[in-house]
Chains A and B, each alone.
Chain A
Amino acid sequence: MTYSTQEFLRAAQQRLGLLKRELGKADGYLHQHHERRAQLATAHSAACNDLARMLVSEWTQEAIDIAANVTGFQQILTDRPREAAERERNELALRLRAIENDPRYANRELLCHPRTGSLTRKLAELETYIAPFRETLARTSHPRFPALVTSGYGTSEYSTGFWRVSYYEDWKAGDEILEKFPEKQFFSEVREEVRRAQDSIGPLAAEAERLRAEIKMSEALEAEHKGRFEALQTVVPRHLSALQRRVTDFVLQVPPAAMGPRFAHFPALDLLYKRAAGLTHQTQYLDAIIKNDVGETRTSLVREIQGLEKDIQKFSRPKKASMRFPRDKFDKRFGDRTGSRYQKRWSRFERSYESVYQFRDYQRASFLQDFLWWDLMTDGRVDGDFVPEVASFRRAHPNYTYDASQYDSGDARGALGDLHARRERSEDQTSDETFVDAS
């Protein structure tokens, strides 16, 4: 049995419609993922900030000692961050005093005020002297003027023979320049005036340049003073923020199996740590699911749509009207008329994506045993070997099995509740703190 070209085209159009609907769904998932990823990034940023403030709570040596002991990050003790801040404060204060004692800064209003400053007024006065000379030189801005001067045009030294074209070119250029000096009769007078202008403008321009440099220096000192004054006002918050960021980066970079147990006796810190680490994994997993389930499906949909559109165009030509299509190939290509294959695929995708995205029980993580965030987030129900981290973990732990009962922790949930309550109370205070990126 075979199918006609008309039947082929009808089935191809139906298939094309179905594929385009599925492509729309894929794009919808991508769009939704884009928005959700942004939400997770915001949550991750907040989690890192909370963790940073919990790790180094204030700018005291005691708080820094505690942070070093709890995290094991001894480097922050040997670096003596409070002394570094004090050094910076002293250097800033010293430089500010030096600037304030510099007459170019102290008298900047008297020197550089746009209207009344002594340097500004001197410069303006000089410019009025320079202007006529500049105007004279501008009138000789003819491309041949330098050659006329060099060849001695207009003087007895001029030796170009009248049998050469350049003689007439010089003549023409000389006349054009002379026209710009109506008060002059001969080119030699122009030469003389230009020489006088050049001789005069040199020292005047040099003096103007010196005044400009002085004004610029005053302005530079004013800008430097402003910058250093602001820096002095923010020494403590800047150093505290940098230290918090440094400690948080360290904590999140150390493997959880090593860092996690250190927080076991600090429930609030433990929760913040798990939340920050969990959000990092959550984002990576969602990216991997989207790439594996949506990205690859989308690529194959686009490829099939292009093939169908090409075939529809090809078999719509009159000379293809009598073609016949074998049933087995026809059925293989157009058999899935309802898109059930895609429905199954999307359904599987939604299950795994939603189970990871909806996950909020970060406190259930346990770093005291072999632990895989993926299994906790999916309750061990989704095969995640397409995620590089999951595949690598399973290779490294061949005897590992997931047991959900190991991760139940009513106390931790209660503590997280306390944390959320505390966070809500302090939200106004913390909302503008520095973001610490742990990615």
Chain B
Amino acid sequence: MDERKGSLLLATLFRAEGLEIAENVRFEEAGISVTLDGYDSKRRIGFEFITTEAGDREEFTADVLVTLEQKMRDGSLYLFLIDENDISSEEELSRYASMFLSELRRRGALS
């Protein structure tokens, strides 16, 4: 599954939850600077589909991911991180994205 298809599907699912997802958004905070595939900057919710083809592995290094995950643990940011190696079909991606959005609702981040 390629990044373009995956991002399109995720944007559709996230927008269906009322999020205002913009594509290819520059995110610069806490010393990191990355481009997110989809992001609602007002709600601070988005997603990143990490693929080798798009060069994401050079951008989303281990240090960058540690910083981002710290923000998510704090509850100040919610990014759904998908590694292309973990997903085998659109159906699977759709199921896991829905579970992520449900989890956000459960945590009060999405009403």
Interface size grouping (class) on chain A: under 10
Q: Check if B99 sits within 8 Å of A163, measured CB to CB.
A: no
Tally of B interface residues using CB under 8 Å: 16
Q: State in angstroms the CA–CA spacing of A162 and B103 once bound together.
A: 8
Q: Check if B80 sits within 8 Å of A163, measured CB to CB.
A: yes
Interface SS of chain A: helix
Q: How many A-B residue pairs have CB under 8 A?
A: 27
Closest residue of chain A to B86 (Cβ to Cβ) is A165
Q: Check if A165 sits within 8 Å of B79, measured CB to CB.
A: no
Q: Check if B81 sits within 8 Å of A165, measured CB to CB.
A: yes
Q: Check if A163 sits within 8 Å of B86, measured CB to CB.
A: no
Asked whether any CB of chain B lies closer than 8 Å to the CB of A168, the reply is yes
- Give residues in A with beta carbon < 8 Å to B: 161-166, 168-169, 171
Q: State in angstroms the CA–CA spacing of A164 and B68 once bound together.
A: 12
Question: Contacting A168 at CB < 8 Å: which of B73, B83, B100?
Answer: B100
Asked whether any CB of chain A lies closer than 8 Å to the CB of B110, the reply is no
Within 8 A of A (CB), among B72-94: 72-73, 78-83, 86-87
CB 8 Å contact bits of B39-67 with A (1 = contact, 0 = none) = 00000000000000000000000000000
Q: Check if A166 sits within 8 Å of B86, measured CB to CB.
A: yes
Closest residue of chain A to B80 (Cβ to Cβ) is A163
Q: Which residues of B contact A164 (CB under 8 A)?
A: 81
Q: Check if B69 sits within 8 Å of A165, measured CB to CB.
A: no
Contacts A163-B100, A165-B83 supplied; 11 other A-B pairs, CB < 8 Å: A161-B69, A161-B73, A163-B69, A164-B81, A165-B82, A165-B86, A165-B87, A168-B95, A168-B99, A169-B86, A171-B99
Closest residue of chain A to B73 (Cβ to Cβ) is A161
24 A-B contacts (beta carbon < 8 Å): A161-B69, A161-B72, A161-B73, A162-B100, A162-B103, A163-B72, A163-B79, A163-B80, A163-B81, A163-B100, A164-B81, A165-B81, A165-B82, A165-B83, A165-B86, A165-B87, A165-B96, A166-B86, A168-B95, A168-B99, A168-B100, A169-B86, A169-B96, A171-B99
Q: State in angstroms the CA–CA spacing of A166 and B50 once bound together.
A: 14
- CB B35 to nearest CB in A, in angstroms, measures 18
Q: Which residues of B contact A163 (CB under 8 A)?
A: 69, 72, 78-81, 100
